[in-house]
Structure 1
Amino acid sequence: MSRRRQQFMDGSDSSDEEGSDFKASFNISERDLEEEAEGFSGQRKRRKFTKEDAMLGIWAEDDDDSSNAPSPAAARPKFSSAINFKPSKVDSPLSRTQSPQSRNESPEPTSSRPGLGGGTATARSSSFRQAGSTSPAVNKDFAKFASHGTGFGMKMLQKMGWQVGKGLGAEGEGIVNPIETKQRPNRMGIAFKGFDERTDQHKEEAARRGDVPSDEEMEEVSTKTKKRRDAWKKDALTPSVEREETPSKPRKQKTVYKTASEIIKESAASQPVADKIIDMTGPAARELTSLSQVRSQSPTMMETSTRLPELRHNLRLIADLSLSDLDHLTREKRLAEVRAQNLEHEREQLQKRLDSDDAEMKRVDELQRIGREIEAISKSALATGAFEQGDITAMFGEHFKLLETQYSEEFKAFGLDAMVVSVWAPIMKYGCVRWDVLSSPTWASDLVSRWRRLLPCNDDLSRNDDVMDVDGGFQGKQRNGRRGAGSERTLLMTPFESMMFTIWLPKVRSAINNTWNPREADPIIHLLEAWAPPILPLFIYESIVDQLILPKLSKAVSDWDPRNDPVQIHTWIHPWLPTLKAWRLSAIFTSIRQKLSVILRQWHPSDESALHILEPWKEVWDANPMEKLIIKSILPKLTQVMRTEFVVNPREQNLDPLVWCLAWKDLISPVLIGQLLDNEFFPKWLDVLYKWVTLNPMDINWDEVGQWYSWWKQVFASYGLDDNPVVKASFRKGLELMNRASSGERVENPAVVAAR
């Protein structure tokens, strides 16, 4: 209830003390009241807001105690004469509180108006008068809001027909005294333990209206409330005797589930249950693990007792909290045990690592000893001249074997290949000074191949930048690789690569450039085969092939003269194919074809040297380059020979031009050789056969014709061309021509038919 409402009900007026707050809370101005009056009277007047209105607010009026000076408020119209209320169709407090004048002026019967309670106002008022035999005590200060004796609220109610001591409403059926409140005890819910929310005023008003409930109803409500309140302890409040007399439905046994903490607690128990506990109280025997699970099916005195339910509830809560604390301690203990196990495991791991470090330190000390011994042997060999023998295995084989087998991991980790190269380099340098590359190209290759596992290079890097040897046994992180700009990797030479590049390669380069003859391929071929990767670093091998061997071979091919050179070029080029492969020599092959195409411009098919030069290249060159060379340089010459020099003469046949052409049958494709015979040989042959079979029949010897035909078939069969489609079709035409002529039929010249 708001403060302003409380003041209204108390009948006091606080406008003098809290005028501004009151006006702010109601937010009513003089203009609102005038507009309200104009709305009831049908008039619309405007009044100017005066100074007095500003000072006194909406409560400024003509009182007897005010000054006699005229004020604008005195000219305000009276509500009693200006307001003409009209009866409402809906029964409301306003319609029941009309003034007597308005009720007299509106003789409309009130019995027809529906009320709020579903009946008429007259019926309700009569019922109120009949039930209100005992009227409540009247509060004389009801509706006194102002401090001047009679306030604005009282005047408003009196103008609408209300009298002091009577109830509100048109028939006085409303309340007589202000509304009272009843404070509920602190932290109590609604109707808790049957608490009556009604005030004395509410009960008196209900009695006056006849709405007082009977004692039986109140007792029933109290019983239901108590049952709801004690529903959770229904069994405890019901006496055992009463349960026996009144049979009820047996209560279902509640399923109890184990929590995670209980399971942990049970698993953490160190001593298992020694004895079995058999519960025979139920319909069936069951085996229990502890006495705490034993529960009697019949209610105990504590369960049936109705005394101290709060205490037993609190004790149960304390027991549950204690159990929760115990579960928490059990979990903490379990976690502590797990933590102790983890710490013990970490201690064991640290101890193992410490032992491993100690063992590794011992191995490092042993490596230092081996290194000092290798250094001593190297200094002794340099001092005595024993290194001139160049036998690395004899001097360092025992120590190198230890590094290769027993200390391979440390060898990779510490990069001890530099130590191996440091004692090997003087011996390699001394041996290269006296090394004849062409006479003994395989010198020292067996030693390098034997100890290659101790000489890693960048070619052994895997995708993960791990160094691996040819057998896959050596593995280690790339020690000397670094990243350059962008994503490309810049590699530095390993000690082994540096030794081979600065000591071994210059000797080989000098021998190839100054001493080696390209037509004597065997020494350099043996050198490449003995030092082929992975024995030799790949970049050194590629450098020898691309910068030394191929340029010298290209120069020798360019100096080659097929006309005057008695040695055919394939004799000193083909030996390089197994070592260098055909793709490396493709540029040299192109140069050879160009030189041959130039020379074949003046070549005659009677010269068989061209055939001997080209025939070894049939399996070396691809089919396309070879066919282009044949079509460009060989086939035109053969066509010209067959067209100008070959003549079909049954009496004296010269086969040389045809033999010259058929000798190329292995280099020329079957399609090209068939086109050559179809264009140049068979037209001449069919023309001679037509002339022979069209002579005077008396002059024709058909046996000679048949023998001549068979002889030509044997000639082509001897060259393996009898299965050629063109050859077979042409001989079939000749046979048909002979059959028609021998039978007397008319025949035509096949050459004329083909021309048409």
Structure 2
Amino acid sequence: MMAKMGYKQGQGLGKQGEGIVNPIEVKLRPQGAGVGAVKEKTEQYKAEQRRKAEAKGEEYEDSSEEERRARKRRAERKKEERAGGVGAGGRRKTKYRTVEDVRAAAPGLELPKAMLGSIVDATGGTTKLLTSTAGLMTSNVVPAETEADKIAKRERLELEAFIEAWHGLQERKVVVEEQQGHLQMDINQADDDIKKMQEMVEAVEALNIANIDWGQAMEKLGKLQQDFRHDIDSYNLSEAAVATIAPLFKADLDDWDPLETPSYRLVEHLTHLKPILGLEKTTSALATSNPDIDPEQRRYRKQKTTTPYESLIYGVWLPKMRSTVTRWDVHDPSSLITVVTAWRPLLPAFVYSNLLDQQIVPKLSEALSAWNPRKRRHHHKSSSNDAPHIWLFPWLPLLPPYHLDPKSTTGLLVDAKRKFRRVLDTCDISTLVPGLEHWKQLFGHKDFDATMLRHVLPRLASHLSNTFDIDPADQDISPLEHVFAWQPFFTPVIFGRLLIAEFFPKLHSVLHQWLTSPEASFEEIGAWYTWWKSVIPENLQRIPEVQAEFDKALQTINDALTLQDEGRDMAELPAPAAGPSRPIVSSTSTSAATSAATKPREQEQQDLSFKDIVEEWCTEHDLTLLPLREAHPATGSPLFRITASVSGRGGVVVFFKGDTLWVQKRKREDGFEPLGLDDKLLERAEGK
């Protein structure tokens, strides 16, 4: 039966043969015998364990083999003990030392001859005292011990004690000599320190000169710095150096106008005195070596005790710069940038951070908020020097990284980008925003293109739609020129689509009207067509879609000539498409040339004009109006979000209906409510 189940004779049970081979044997313990009286393991069990060990590559050891090995180890230990000279019940052999051995054991020790003469001679049949160095010293006891033997034995013991004490004294002598050497080195070092201290005191006292000038101070401090360069920290020489230059420093700052003379000799003087002023050991705290001045580091730095130099800069230099920044014209950055750049390697990090965060950056932010190219042109003032790329961008390399992080919701760079987008939404589209090339470098190619497509391209399309008309009798191409001025900041394909959406529909419409009029002149029409081709830039004409539109106009002219040659009525000429195609922008306004507009169209114009008012209000309050690409479920009006966050989150959801702004209630299930452009809406937009 087992063979049918796959069992093979001579192999173990189980699928892999890991089971037992032979049946289990039982070994009976004699009656009355306890556990351990006999060996419990059977031969079958031992064979099975040996087979399993061999299968694992191991060696099986049973209890009998372990006992044999233990007995063998005990026998080897006994054999070693016998070989060492101590037998079972034997007596340890007595060892002897000669007189020469005694003298060698204590070199330098003067031993009395009488004491050496008490050494016992044990070489003969009887023991006797030796009086020469030919004998041996032994601790063996003489059977017949006389009084002289007792005295000799006592002398030997004292001799051994003297030798031990002598060894202790010699070791102590070595230790004392080493200590004496160390103490002598300390004394020599102390003498050198005293001498150096005296020289240093004389050098410092030499600084105490009435009416000392910068030349004398630089000479004496330079010598002190050179002679005691490695002792500046240990003797606090920076305090003496700062105390020496402090009166000169204050006097020079009183007469210094940073905006008039940005490069100043103080920078050169302090640079030469960096080591003695303690600037080299505090390199990690300087503004140049720690540009990432985050708030945690600033708080930690303020908790530490300031050095004398830091106190001088914070108490004298920083107030001077505060008053300078107060009267500084933010639109003239060169002088102050020169000052900050020159002093930056000498400024502690917390001073540099204080100057930027509390003095310069607030003025830059205020000027950035007030930047309005449209307002400047309205007052007939030149705005070239007011553009941020002139006065703001040069400061960016000097700002710490937390002002330049594009992913942050705060910081000067984020504020500048937000302001630029608002300017693009509200600027006069007929003129370029100053410094677009610099803004492109700041944004990066990808982000700049996306910003232009979102904020400028729809306005260009609206500008062409509302202000540009084609009139062969009195053609004004200034609106088209205004649009072409923005072309370098768009790809030719995008600009070609703009022309296809807003220019060519008007061209085809006027061409058809002219061809079907009774006074049409094909010679004038041909010249007019050729002139328009010269107006459009060549790089746009090379776009297949633009070329197709010109070919379409030319085909219309050829069709009209065919009708004329056949003597047919020009009214048969096919009219262009009923409405212009606008694939790149949504329909946000109507053409000024349209005479018959419907009431819904007029209502849309009213909505858009009110939307412009809301956008202007958002710009004034540093808010952003973002389309959500969703519609109100009941009215179908597009939804927008008004928020103060640059990430586009938070704020409040709104939609326009006529000249009313409907705002979503705090609980979304309550729907929308009308709200005016007031503080309540501002608080909702800011998330308060």
TM-score of the superposed pair, with normalisation by structure 1: 0.41
- Find the structure with the greater CA-based Rg: 1
